[in-house]
Amino acid sequence: MTTFLTGVPGGAKTYFGIFEICKYFSIDLNNNKNFKPHLSKSNKYKNCLTNINEIKLDKFENVSSFDFIEFKAILTVLHSMFKAGKTDTELLQYLEDNNIIFADTLIVLDECQNYLSKEDTVLIWWLSYHRHFHQDIILITQNLDLVNKKYFAFSEIYLKAIPPSRKIFNNSMIYHQFTSPKLYKNSQANTIKLPVVEELFTYYLSGANQQHKSFVVHYIKISIIIFIVLMVLFFLFIKSKNQDTESNKSDYSYDPAPKQKITPLKTKSFFDNSDLKLFVFNCFDDYCYFDSDSKIPKTLFDAVIQQIETKLISKREYNNSTDFYIITNKNNFEFIKKENLEDEKTSISNPIFK
């Protein structure tokens, strides 16, 4: 199986390669509680070849440095034998007879663009035929565009390392798995998480001094500080506004005079007067009759009606007369006597009523 792994510098690409090597060839990690669950129970490889920068080979068994010139020479011989019609058994026998580390091997190549930038017939044949030699290949590069596209035809997995600086927590290394070298989001098939084992960083040079700080955490801290400062300023502003408001209230405050309780006056109804009396007058053109046996001149009646302050008058008209129904103080018509009044002029001039 061929795996391409890409990512920015310092993005834990090499860590993935070291982790894979340690799973099968580590000497000292058997008791490491973080790594122990990942140790392979059975080793399908006899050897490992890698060019990881200054890898400490004494930490592994059966791990050797990768020499490209020597490796290319072996490939050239094998390719020639293949073209000559030699079988897989004959190719493997050649490797065994010459004690060549090649078959049943894990190959981890860092900065693979140094070898795969140009189209090469032998290298293309190798990637297309590596399964016959029971090889697994991990090809690491900073940018897949630096690798000739011909080599992508033989890869099943494309991994992209997520830099520790883009994560909130650095307790794991994250790798997004894609099915296409374009690394489109819709081609993402899986996410691989590897635990951070500090000891692994001491196994190779590029990881020896890695102390990545997450810029996400950095910006979160800055955001929290800014938020706290803004909240403090906001509360100080509110407090200041409240103090100014209280001060203004004090400057303009005064003791209002006690409000007098106003008892609403009950309006006295006209009909509440106990001295009311109903008067009925039957008036003709010249006289108005009261109680059938008393009469007053019509002019006097009109004058009295005009001067009564409170009155309730209803009238009913007939052909020759009009009945007036008057509710008023009983004293207003006290001057009427049950007798004929002789001096109408005097009565008109001096009406007696209240």
Rg (CA), the chain: 59
Query: Quick count: other Cβ atoms within 10 Å of Cβ 65?
Result: 10
Which stretch of DSSP H or E encloses residue 96? helix 88-97
Sequence-distant contacts of 349-354: CB under 8 A, at least 24 apart:
351/300, 351/303, 351/304, 351/307, 353/304, 353/307, 353/308, 354/329
Beta-bridged to residue 191, according to DSSP, are 176
49 touches 126 (CB < 8 A): no
Amino acid 315: pLDDT:
84
Residue whose structure tokens are 């068994």: 61
What confidence score (pLDDT) does residue 352 get?
42
Taking residue 175's Cβ as centre, other Cβ atoms within 10 Å add up to 22
> Contact, 47 vs 63, CB < 8 A?
yes
Q: Tokens representing 130?
A: 């590596």
For 7-36, how does the pLDDT look when each residue is reduced to its tens digit (9 = 90+)? Answer: 988 788 999 999 999 999 999 898 898 898
How far apart are alpha carbons 271 and 48 in whole angstroms? 123
Nearest Cα residue to 160 out of 316, 5, 348, 280: 5
Question: What's the pLDDT at 154?
Answer: 92
Q: How far is CA 157 from CA 52, 63, 138, in A?
A: 20, 24, 10
3-class secondary structure, 329: strand
Residue 303 pLDDT: 87
Per the CB < 8 A criterion, the answer to whether 3 and 139 are in contact is: yes
Q: Which residue has the tokens 């810029």?
A: 215
Report the 10 Å Cβ neighbour count for 295: 23
Give the count of beta carbons closer than 10 Å to the beta carbon of residue 167: 17
Cα 95 to Cα 78: distance, rounded to the nearest angstrom: 9
Each of the 354 residues of the chain gets a pLDDT tens digit; together they read: 999 999 988 788 999 999 999 999 999 898 898 898 899 888 999 999 999 999 999 999 999 999 999 999 999 999 999 999 999 999 999 999 999 999 999 999 999 999 999 999 999 999 999 999 999 999 999 999 999 999 999 998 999 999 876 556 577 899 999 999 999 988 899 999 999 998 999 999 865 445 555 545 555 667 788 878 888 888 788 877 777 666 666 655 555 555 556 655 555 665 666 678 888 888 998 889 887 778 889 898 888 888 876 566 888 888 889 988 888 887 877 777 654 444 444 444 455 444
CA distance 29 to 48: 17
Q: Which residue has the tokens 């090649």?
A: 102
Question: For residues 36 and 56, what is the distance between their CA atoms, to the nearest angstrom?
Answer: 20
Spatial distance between the Cα atoms of 231 and 237, rounded to a whole number of angstroms = 10
- Cα separation, 328 vs 17, in Å, equals 121
Question: What is the phi/psi pair of residue 351, to 5°?
Answer: -70, 140
pLDDT of the residue at 344: 47
> In the beta sheet, which residues pair with residue 290?
281, 294
Beta-strand runs (E) in 275-319: 276-283, 287-290, 294-297, 312-317
Hey, which CATH number is domain 270-349, 1.10.3470, 1.10.10, 2.60.120, 3.30.70? Answer: 3.30.70
Helices H / strands E in the chain, number of each? 8, 13
SS3 251: helix
Q: In CATH terms, is domain 2-217 a member of 3.40.50.300?
A: yes
Q: Please state, rounded to an integer, the average pLDDT across all residues of the chain.
A: 83
Query: What is the per-residue pLDDT for 248?
Result: 65
pLDDT at residue 252 in the model: 55
So where are the chain's domains?
Answer: 2-217, 270-349
Distance, in Å, from the CA atom of 196 to the CA atom of 12, rounded to the nearest integer, reads 10
- Nearest-angstrom CA–CA distance, 282 and 320: 10
